[in-house]
Chain A
């Protein structure tokens, strides 16, 4: 029988606020253990939490970017469970009335040629705090670092609208793109600022009713999400095919063994006994707050891509690549501003710049050639000061230097020679030095033309304007 995947994802995203959700401790990553802590996040008696205004602003931004309803009134709640990395014995989260509900994101399930948008609906997005870190592998005890306790998270819960592992991956990438565009999280899966759990079930194709689902945890890369879900679909298919029943349970993904395995039963006994958090007053999102936040939103990737197509006359695919990240899109637009040439700017950014970033595995923010200098280089090329070969050479030199491209060209004498007389002299010398090739050319071997262009260029150390060489060569070779 053919089965179909039905999945929903729960994505936890760490907000990039400077301070924790409910206290002024720094959220800086990599600090020494238990140094970014205070009475509030350590749950000392008598301490009281106060909500970080920027954390609230961030979740509202996310809600607006994902077409959610923003609740005019919402409350925080306590989720009760015991674990040593949760000092209070409860996590401050939201239960009955989350800040955001009933939204959707669209993912493009098509290919480079044809886009095909699929809507994935969101149940809710709520605000909560992270737990600390338990270290189990030193000696006989467990060690607890509370630095991460209280770091703000948003949890984005989707409806079971996902029908393939590819859709799951695209959805996750979309979430990452949105949080990065909004500037509310770095969305980095490797460092754990984006974490994902999946509810996975299968059903015979064509059947309406859902099958029994399992929850997979511990997938910490985009690849893991796809692999774990693929594995789980196969596992559930085998269970059903052999006449068994899927048991509703929580599974952990083991990336080394490439398999899911059940969590121990004790860890599954969930009864969180949510109740309203008495230490935090309710949140009222006023229309004025909403207006302010709405007006501060950046242009979203889809809108920006469409604008790039319309305004810069770029192919849709190019616009898509350039707008995939907000920083790259900003860099491109700043380059266009200096160069005045969108097509060339797009070629350079999509070509040399993105290739270099990939090779060096760095972000555009750490790239040594800023948009202004790249724009200037393009201007030099467009104005005929440098040939395309030399422009690439200058680009390489610019990476190791802070100098303007014009200075590099001048200092190294890289300017293209567009002086007719100099090129004519060189052409004459080359023709004179190659009498047999010249005869062959004249008797019909026209492809020798390239040979003459090459020789002349070599004679002029690669700096001659190729168009002028072609014109002059044609004239001399054909005329004589």
Chain B
């Protein structure tokens, strides 16, 4: 199951990343070598072994439903590239009609 340049294009779109053709080629190779390594794992017999969904052995870590004071509005917005009033400001996300 080799990764193609189309796969890289698709993943780049999903990740909202732009690459040059040269970068895409490099990424295609890199991904193939990562997946090739993963292929090795398929040679192991995993019959009867439950899939691992978490590295941690623990289960049921909960928090009581009690309010913890939030941070201030100015702290919340401190790292924002753009803001106005109390809001994060981002480029318009709906297409203009």
Chain B: number of interface residues, binned into ranges: 35 or more
Question: Which residue of chain B has its CB nearest to the CB of A54?
Answer: B65
Q: Cβ of B73 and Cβ of A26 under 8 Å apart?
A: no
Bound together, the chains give a CA A134 to CA B88 distance in angstroms of: 9
Summed over the interface, the residue pairs from A and B with CB atoms below 8 Å come to a total of 129
Bound together, the chains give a CA A143 to CA B96 distance in angstroms of: 16
Does A117 have its Cβ within 8 Å of any Cβ on chain B?
Answer: no
- CB within 8 Å for A23 and B54 given contacts A32-B86, A143-B87: no
Does B23 have its Cβ within 8 Å of any Cβ on chain A?
Answer: no
Q: Cβ of A141 and Cβ of B90 under 8 Å apart?
A: yes
Q: Cβ of A282 and Cβ of B59 under 8 Å apart?
A: yes
Tell me which of A33, A136, A264 has the highest count of chain B C-beta atoms within 10 A of its own C-beta.
Answer: A33
Q: Cβ of B62 and Cβ of A52 under 8 Å apart?
A: yes
Q: Cβ of A284 and Cβ of B89 under 8 Å apart?
A: no
Does A34 have its Cβ within 8 Å of any Cβ on chain B?
Answer: yes
Q: Cβ of B14 and Cβ of A136 under 8 Å apart?
A: no
Bound together, the chains give a CA A387 to CA B68 distance in angstroms of: 56
**Minimum CB–CB distance for A414 against chain B, Å:** 49
Contact residues in B for A17 (Cβ distance below 8 Å): 65
**Minimum CB–CB distance for A293 against chain B, Å:** 14
- CB within 8 Å for A38 and B14 given contacts A51-B63, A84-B88, A264-B95: no
Q: Cβ of B92 and Cβ of A141 under 8 Å apart?
A: yes
Q: Cβ of B86 and Cβ of A19 under 8 Å apart?
A: no
Bound together, the chains give a CA A36 to CA B73 distance in angstroms of: 9
Contact residues in A for B27 (Cβ distance below 8 Å): none
**Minimum CB–CB distance for A28 against chain B, Å:** 9
Does B67 have its Cβ within 8 Å of any Cβ on chain A?
Answer: yes
Q: Cβ of B54 and Cβ of A142 under 8 Å apart?
A: no
Does A283 have its Cβ within 8 Å of any Cβ on chain B?
Answer: yes
Among A6-14, A123-131, A157-165, A271-279, the one that faces the other chain is A271-279
Does A434 have its Cβ within 8 Å of any Cβ on chain B?
Answer: no
Bound together, the chains give a CA A25 to CA B76 distance in angstroms of: 13
Does A353 have its Cβ within 8 Å of any Cβ on chain B?
Answer: no
Known: A55-B65, A281-B59. 11 other contacts (CB 8 A): A33-B85, A34-B73, A35-B72, A35-B73, A35-B76, A42-B76, A96-B53, A144-B87, A145-B88, A278-B54, A284-B59
17 A-B interface contacts by CB (under 8 A): A19-B68, A24-B66, A26-B67, A33-B73, A33-B86, A38-B68, A39-B71, A42-B76, A52-B65, A75-B53, A84-B90, A134-B93, A135-B87, A136-B93, A141-B84, A280-B54, A281-B60
Instruction: Identify the 3 closest CB pairs spanning chains A and B, nearest first.
Output: A24-B68, A54-B65, A276-B53
